[in-house]
Chain A
Amino acid sequence: MVSSFCWSCLTRLPSAPRAILPPTLTAQRVAAFHTSTALFSSPVKKKKGDVVPAKFRQAKSAKMKKKKPVERTRPPAVGERKALKKRIVLSNPNALEIEGMQDLSADNMVDARLRGSILGLPVPMLDQLRAVQAFKPKQGWSIFRRPGTVVRRETLELGRLIDGISGEGENKGRVVRKIVTGVRGSGKTVHLLQAMSMAFTKNWVVITVPEAQDLVIANTAYAPLSDENPNVYVQNDATAALLSRTVTANQNVLSSLSVSQAHPALKSAVKPGMTLEALAKLGIQDPAAAWNVFQALWTELTASSPAPGFEGTFKPRPPVLVTLDNLAHWMKESKYNSIDCKPIHAHDLVFVQHFLSLLKPNADKPTLPNGGLILYSTSASNSPTIYGVTVALQQLAARQAGVKPSSPEYPQADPFLNADNRVLAAFDSSKSTAPKEGSLELQTLGGLTREEAQGFMEYFARSGLLRENVTDAWVGEKWSLAGGGVIGELEKLGRRLRVVA
């Protein structure tokens, strides 16, 4: 048995811990046979199970304690939470400034030597890009000192295209239509942003639909277009918002152009000599007239010569860039209901109709006589599964590869899967007779090449976000981890904070 004495310090043996014990316990110790538990239990603590037995015929059920009312703070003001959700931060003062980073300009837009490097977006242009909602809240702009984008192969092609359309060469006045697809995180939305920034440098007019979904989820007002065609619907508030985006972003261009056509739909609101900016503002002030104003603005932008009586102040119109994100949402029935409570097909909304009609080369009249680029992208993260779209894109890819629609290799819709014919028709663009009109193309964005990935990772390192030696081998590893250089995945790898061991 182990003695309770400490043999090394016998001399200093305390008289007894018992002396510390309260006197009440000593009596207990003597009386009880087993002493230890009684000794160690604290005399102050009350026994837990010490419940007074209920009296005769008294309720025995456990009483529920009333919860104290939780102090609630006031909910945030109306619109505050949404503003926080939609907030876009474009600068991080803690990130390092990168020396020698060039801004995007008309000169370096087509410079192939810059491939793989990062071009900054010019600061004065940021307001314009914000106005057209080119930045999305979930994108990682907020980790860098200032926003910039990678120059990849597709970017250079885009730069050459935009340069060609606005230049004086053979491509002047061409109309290019593209649908941008690609896996998730492959940079489709940023590709649109690059197109917008290039168009702004070239003083084009930029018209954007930043989120196609917003028009079909029944969150904005709708009404029948007119009594003549009650099955087509107009969305006045959404159109007014479109006009407001267009005016804010293209103020310089629109204020230098003036009205050159007659607009009988707007009656006396249009005065001769009015600038296009003032014309568009008519629609912002009065959303009820927004659709007519938008149509008038579109006629003005696509005018190639003045109407009789307006010859005085006509200036040639600039090319137009039309971009749209998340196209697939426009290919199904919308959440709006018709008068007999049936869902309205998205193609019956006149706004959607207008933008989808741009995909088709017009037979008699060119869509954009002054040239332009129509760039619609799909989304891979928020995309409804629509069989018609899948088939239509396959058919588009086949046509682009040179497969004739009459050949047996041409992908056909499975008759049992009920592909929507309107969707198939929307993508089905025949070759136009007009020389400048391009037919619809499909552009699939993949991963970056190794060199581009290296430039991109160096950008992280030089911003102070990545503390690694960006070597070929390291980049190769990350390139593979990112599914072959998918830029969104590369960004995740680059921004993850690591401490060098």
Chain B
Amino acid sequence: MVFILGVNFPERNIVKKSLESFFGIGNLTSTRLLARFHIHPTCKVGDLGNKQVLDITAALSDMKIENDLRRQYLDNIKRLKETGTYRGRRHALGLPVRGQRTRSQIKNAVKLNRMERRL
């Protein structure tokens, strides 16, 4: 088990996949991170050197990921609402924000759009 940014990953996991399990890191960011520390894409977590683990953790802690990023998302929605924009109002009402019709097919908007949006 290897700790990367406080999360414990089993050694058999692939590094790229493990990185992508963080909120805010996708294919592109993980590819860049791997390239930056000379880790090949099929590398397993167990094969990482100590220095590489520390480097990755340091790089991740500089990035806006996980709860910081979630908070930023919520703040953005909140800002829209507080400035009284149409988009903010639609978020608060749980209706589509980007001009979709509301006669049918708004299940996702109903489910997701709210002030305290789940992320």
Contact flags (1/0) for A325-365 with B, using CB distance below 8 Å? 00000000001111111000000000000000000000000
- Contact, CB under 8 Å: A221 / B47: yes
Asked whether, in the complex, the Cβ of B40 is within 8 Å of the Cβ of A341, the reply is no
For A220, the closest partner residue in chain B by CB is B40
**Most chain B CB within a 10 A radius of its CB, from A220, A335, A337:** A337
On whether the beta carbons of B35 and A337 are closer than 8 Å, the reply is yes
Tell me if B36 and A339 are in contact (CB < 8 A).
yes
A210 beta carbon closer than 8 Å to chain B: no
Q: Which residue of B lies closest to A223 (CB)?
A: B38
Please give, as numbers and ranges, the residues of chain A lying within 8 Å of B41 by CB-CB distance. 218, 335
Cβ of A224 < 8 Å from any Cβ of B? yes
Residue of B nearest to A218 (CB): B40
Interface residues of A in 213-251 (CB under 8 A from B): 218-224, 233
When the two chains form their complex, are residues A336 and B40 in contact, meaning their CB atoms are under 8 A apart? yes
Distance of A237 Cα from B119 Cα, bound (Å)? 41
Cβ-defined partner of A222 (8 Å) among B31, B36, B38: B38
From A343, which residue of chain B is reached at the shortest CB distance?
Answer: B35
Q: Which residue of B lies closest to A342 (CB)?
A: B35
Q: How far is it, in angstroms, between the C-alpha of A340 and the C-alpha of B35 when the chains are bound?
A: 7
Q: Is the CB of B40 within 8 A of A224?
A: no
A interface footprint on B32-60 (CB within 8 Å = 1, 0 otherwise)? 10111011111100010000000000000
Task: Give complex CA distance A88, B44 in Å.
Answer: 27
Of B32, B34, B40, B42, the most chain A CB neighbours within 10 A belong to: B40
Cα of A382 to Cα of B14 in the assembled complex, Å: 27
Chain A residues near B34 (CB-CB < 8 A): 337
Complex CA–CA separation, A405 to B12 (angstroms): 54
Chain B residues 8 to 43 lying within 8 A of chain A, measured CB to CB, are: 12, 31-32, 34-36, 38-43
Distance between Cα atoms of A221 and B40 in the complex (Å): 6
Give the docked Cα–Cα distance between A219 and B36 (Å): 17
Q: Which residue of B lies closest to A288 (CB)?
A: B49
Among B51-82, those with CB < 8 Å from A are: none
Asked if A341 contacts B38 (CB within 8 A), the reply is no
User: A222–B42 Cα gap in the complex (Å)?
Assistant: 12
- Given A222-B38, A223-B38: A341 and B43 within 8 A (CB)? no
A340 to B34 Cα, complex, angstroms: 10
Q: Is the CB of A221 within 8 A of B31?
A: no
Q: Mark B81-97, 1 if CB is under 8 A from A, else 0.
A: 00000000000000000
CB closest residue in chain B, given A335 = B41
Name A230's closest neighbour in chain B (CB-CB).
B38
Q: Give a binary string over A159-193; 1 marks a CB under 8 Å from any B CB, 0 the rest.
A: 00000000000000000000000000000000000
Q: Is the Cβ of A341 less than 8 Å from the Cβ of B42? A: no
Partner of A339, one of B38, B40, B43: B38
By a CB distance below 8 angstroms, the chain A residues around B31 are: 337, 341
In chain B, positions 89-116 with a C-beta closer than 8 Å to chain A are: none
In the complex, chain B residues whose CB is within 8 Å of the CB of A341: 31-32, 35-36
Q: Evaluate contact between B35 and A222: CB separation under 8 angstroms.
A: no
- Expressed in whole angstroms, the Cα–Cα distance for A37 and B58 within the complex equals 83
Contact between B40 and A219, CB atoms less than 8 A apart: yes
Q: Is B35 within 8 A of A339, CB to CB? A: yes
User: A338: nearest residue on chain B (CB-CB)?
Assistant: B35
How many Å lie between the Cα of A147 and that of B44 in the bound state? 38
Complex interface: chain A residues within 8 A of B36 (CB): 339, 341
Give Cα A272 to B34, complex, Å.
41
CA distance A218 to B38 in the complex (A): 11
Q: A237 to chain B: closest CB distance in Å?
A: 9
B50 to chain A, nearest CB (A): 13
Q: Which residues of A contact B47 (CB under 8 A)?
A: 221
Cβ of B43 and Cβ of A221 under 8 Å apart? yes
Bound Cα distance A337, B32 (Å) = 9
- What's the nearest-Cβ distance from chain B to residue A35, in Å? 56
A421 to B38, CA, bound (A): 26
For the complex, what is the distance from the CA of A218 to the CA of B31, rounded to whole Å?
13
Closest to A221 in B: B40
User: How far apart sit A66 and B80, CA to CA, in the bound complex (Å)?
Assistant: 46
Q: In whole angstroms, how far apart are the Cα atoms of A218 and B43 in the complex? A: 9
Bound-complex Cα distance A219 to B34 (A):
13
Residues in B with CB closer than 8 Å to A340 are 35
The answer for the CA separation of A219 and B43 in the assembled complex, in Å, is 8
Give Cα A325 to B26, complex, Å.
36
In the complex, what's the smallest C-beta–C-beta distance from B89 to chain A, in angstroms? Answer: 38
Cα distance A475–B38 in the bound complex, in angstroms: 56
Would you call B40 and A222 a contact (CB within 8 A)? yes
Residue of B31, B32, B38, B42 with highest tally of chain A CB at under 10 A: B38
Contact residues in B for A336 (Cβ distance below 8 Å): 40
Chain B nearest CB, measured from A322 CB (Å): 25
- Nearest to A237 among chain B residues (CB) is B47
User: How many angstroms from the CA of A118 to the CA of B2 in the assembled complex?
Assistant: 55
Q: Which of A233, A338, A341 lies at the interface centre, i.e. has the most chain B CB atoms within 10 A of its CB?
A: A341
Complex CA distance for A344 and B35, rounded to whole angstroms: 10
Q: Please determine whether B35 and A218 come into contact, CB atoms closer than 8 angstroms.
A: no
Q: How far is the CA of A220 from the CA of B31 in the complex (A)?
A: 16
Measured between beta carbons, the chain B residues less than 8 angstroms from A220 are 40
10 example contacts (A-B, Cβ-Cβ < 8 A) are as follows: A220-B40, A221-B43, A222-B38, A223-B38, A336-B40, A337-B31, A337-B34, A339-B35, A341-B31, A341-B36
Beyond the given pairs A221-B43, A223-B38, 7 more chain A to chain B contacts, judged by CB atoms under 8 angstroms and listed by A's residue number, are: A218-B41, A224-B38, A337-B34, A339-B35, A341-B31, A341-B32, A341-B35
Task: Name the 4 nearest CB pairs between A and B, nearest first.
Answer: A337-B35, A341-B35, A218-B40, A341-B32
